[in-house]
Amino acid sequence: RFETCWPALMKDSHGVIIIFNPELPSHLKEIEMWYSCFVQQQPLLDSQCLLVAHHKPGSAGDTENLSLAYPLNKLKLIHSNLEEDPEDVRMEFIKYFRSIITIINESREREEMSIIS
């Protein structure tokens, strides 16, 4: 229902984080649509996308056997359970944000060099 707002959300974005519940089969199908709209159509690099399979507290989520269809299986995937491993999730987000900052800085440097040349 908010699809008309998507272009404004995507404008000048440098990364996409898709959070989903891996226990809901409908979410596995929906993330393909989110990836297509927010990553492929921009276009962003796969390294600019992070998938977060969020497991609700008390769920017996299977973190080992989650199989995603192509092209989602190429993306960085982390499993989050904030009761069990909040520090691991925080560290993964920090690594992701650092990679986005690196991409932005490299792009800015290339742009500056092209202006100078």
CA 63 to chain centre: 17
Q: What is the pTM of this model?
A: 0.84
Q: Give residue limits of the domains in the chain.
A: 3-116
CATH number of 3-116: 3.40.50
Q: What is the pLDDT along the chain (117 residues), one digit of tens a residue?
A: 678 888 888 888 999 999 999 988 898 889 999 999 899 988 899 999 999 999 887 766 555 668 888 899 999 999 998 787 788 899 999 999 999 999 999 999 999 999 987
